[in-house]
Structure 1
Amino acid sequence: MSRSAVLSDAHWELIEPLMPSSDGKRGNRFGDHRRIVEGVVYRFRTGIAWRDLPEQFGPWQTVWKRHRRFSQDGTWDRIHTMLLTHADAAGQIDWRVSVDSTINRAHQHAPTSRAPQGDLSNHTNLSVEPADHAVGRSRGGLSTKIHHVCDGRGRPLVLLLGPGQGNDSPMFANLIGAIRVPWTGPGRPRTRPEAVLADKAYSSRANRALLRSRGITAVIAEPSDQAGHRKRRGSKGGRPPKFDTEAYKGRNVIERSFNVLKQWRALATRYDKLAITYRGGVVLGVIITWLRELGDTP
């Protein structure tokens, strides 16, 4: 396989049925999807400007517009969900999941929005561009956070965006609520993992209560300030939360998962103005990861 192509024939056979055939207008049928998808992958992998795409992928405007459309109408998300369904049916998903975020610098070509920030709920509607474009100011300057849930083997299940200065804990409920893997047959999608592993940033009564109410084991480290406050209250502080130190060792898979994503230069550094198109590139990177995990047989 060449440097400009990442999809094998078996991979394409798996995802092609979910690609739209037209833009919804009479007579406007889409052209060669495979070439376009390879062009989008090439751009995010190399980090070049859209205008610098090699001619073999066709007009760069067509590649960009098709990518934005598929990012906004849910095409990339539907393909990701389909691959999760195949993986779960084959018993390849480890349901002891990990939650974390990674912060990525935003290039000067990305927006410098002055929109109000802090409410992360507007970043969960994946078809609507958030007012702040999921860009914020942190100590390192303009940045974006990828909030992420992966399975016990480091393969991504959920991906949401937020501004770089946003705290991790407020996104926890949204991330857990977004876990949804349909069955191959009848029945409700699977939405409940066996356990959730997370670092101290996610330690709060609300997060632990959420997991407890859904019968999910919490493997969340307790920060020293919370432990000290509980001890100072004596018997009123309650018992320390249960914490499986051995199970917590498995949380490192999410750091390795981030490392895989950041092999694509336009994901490690954000160049896209729109949060929708940037997240679409992240989801496409995840699709390629799952295709490789599932092998060459649909």
Structure 2
Amino acid sequence: MTRQKISDEVWAVLEPLMPTATGRSCPWTDHRLVMEGMAWKFRTGAPWRDVPERFGKWNSIYKRFNRWAGDGTWETLLAEVQKQADVAGKIDWVVSIGSTIARVHQHGATLPRHTGGSAESQESAGRAAPDHAIGRSRGGLTTKVHLVADGRGRPLGLVLTGGNTADTTMLAATLDDICVPRGGLGCPQTRPDRVLADKGYPSKANRAWLRARGAAATIPERDDQIAHRRKKPGRPIDFGAHQEERYRGRNVVERCFNKLKQWRGIAMRSNKLARNYRAAICLTATLIWIKTDLINTA
């Protein structure tokens, strides 16, 4: 087997975190082999039916991925590796927020959405969002991934919407998705020290929301906001040389998107359900966390 994503070092971190077959009539097949098959599918962007037989039956691999997407296993795995990184002091809490677009393949846009179909058919589709996080933008049918990354470019939280959703409306929801469990007693870490964002997020509501939660903000103003303040004088936003120096670090979220989109199944969405597409991103993000930090600290 070549080009493994689940190496011995990665599996040493993952194996203790994997679900057990409690209550099942027959034991699961090898978790490692099945996860390698899932990684192959999303790395190549191939259909489930094209997963090579060396990983096992494609239908069994899909069913396990779908089951874990439904019961939250993928989010749990991501939270556990984030917790281990936090215990080791490997998380930089000066975070960056941004978004990226993923084109929706025609195979992923076949379920009825709120733009068509009855309410009963939408409910039976079993999705979390009424539109499957699919929207029509200039690029056609697209999904937008709103993501917050730590200062070293690892995903901390993400939210999926249709591609026609404005970035500025999703800042609070995306940051609220941060939930890193503590190593011992105590509430999970949810508040970053500072938030770096581009000119897609400079609304007054976003700045007030960050102030209320004690998080500093490094967000430049748009030209129209500066021009408006000149006509109706108000308190200027502090964005001097020290803020410009901090703002240079915002590109870590773009580098995080680059890592995720090296997986073709992430760069182009073919999953019908938003929960399954999110699960694929969580799988990829888990491997990113392990390979960048936990292997070196083990």
Secondary structure at the counterpart of residue 266 of structure 2: helix
Aligned partner letter, 1:80: L
Number of residue-to-residue matches in the alignment: 284
- Percent identical among aligned pairs is 50
Please name the residue that 1:105 is paired with.
Answer: 103
Aligned partner letter, 2:2: S
Please name the residue that 2:153 is paired with.
Answer: 154
Q: List aligned pairs for 1:135-154, cutoff 5 A.
A: 135-154=134-153
Q: For residues 74 and 95 of structure 2, what CA distance do their matches in structure 1 show?
A: 22
Q: For residues 228 and 147 of structure 1, what CA distance do their matches in structure 2 show?
A: 28
State the 1:19 CA deviation: 2.1
Cα offsets for 1:11-60 (capped at 9, x unmatched): 223222332223x6552432221111111100000111110110011111
Aligned partner letter, 1:218: A
Conserved in 1, the CA contact under 8 Å of 2:101 and 2:144?
A: yes
- CA RMSD across the alignment: 1.8
Q: Which range moves more in the overlay, 266-275 or 127-136?
A: 127-136
Q: Which range moves more in the overlay, 127-136 or 102-111?
A: 127-136
Whether 1:198 aligns to 2:197 is yes
Conserved in 2, the CA contact under 8 Å of 1:18 and 1:75?
A: no
Whether 1:56 aligns to 2:31 is no
State the 1:266 CA deviation: 0.8
Name structure 2 gaps, 5 residues minimum: 117-125
Conserved in 1, the CA contact under 8 Å of 2:159 and 2:177?
A: no
Conserved in 1, the CA contact under 8 Å of 2:196 and 2:219?
A: yes
Please name the residue that 1:2 is paired with.
Answer: 2
Aligned partner letter, 2:101: I
Q: 1:116 to 1:287 in 2, by over 3 A?
A: same
State the 1:156 CA deviation: 0.8
Q: For residues 285 and 235 of structure 2, what CA distance do their matches in structure 1 show?
A: 40
Conserved in 2, the CA contact under 8 Å of 1:11 and 1:296?
A: no
Aligned partner letter, 2:264: R
Q: For residues 166 and 216 of structure 1, what CA distance do their matches in structure 2 show?
A: 24
State the 1:134 CA deviation: 0.7
State the 1:143 CA deviation: 0.7
Q: For residues 138 and 25 of structure 1, what CA distance do their matches in structure 2 show?
A: 46
Q: 1:116 to 1:213 in 2, by over 3 A?
A: farther
Conserved in 2, the CA contact under 8 Å of 1:98 and 1:149?
A: yes
Whether 1:288 aligns to 2:284 is no
Secondary structure at the counterpart of residue 107 of structure 2: coil
Please name the residue that 1:221 is paired with.
Answer: 220
Whether 1:239 aligns to 2:238 is no
Cα offsets for 1:102-127 (capped at 9, x unmatched): 0011111111544159xxxxxxxxx9
Please name the residue that 1:250 is paired with.
Answer: 249
Q: List aligned pairs for 1:15-30, cutoff 5 A.
A: 15-22=14-21, 25-30=23-28
State the 1:267 CA deviation: 0.6
Query: Aligned match of 1:80 in 61, 78, 81?
Result: 78
Cα offsets for 1:205-244 (capped at 9, x unmatched): 111011111111100111111121222112xxx2112221
Please name the residue that 1:124 is paired with.
Answer: none
State the 1:261 CA deviation: 0.6
Aligned partner letter, 1:75: T
Secondary structure at the counterpart of residue 102 of structure 1: strand
Cα offsets for 1:153-206 (capped at 9, x unmatched): 111111221111111111111111121111111112111111000011111111
Cα offsets for 1:60-95 (capped at 9, x unmatched): 111111111112211111111111111111111111
Q: For residues 147 and 65 of structure 1, what CA distance do their matches in structure 2 show?
A: 27
Secondary structure at the counterpart of residue 240 of structure 1: coil
Q: 1:116 to 1:228 in 2, by over 3 A?
A: farther
Aligned partner letter, 1:159: L
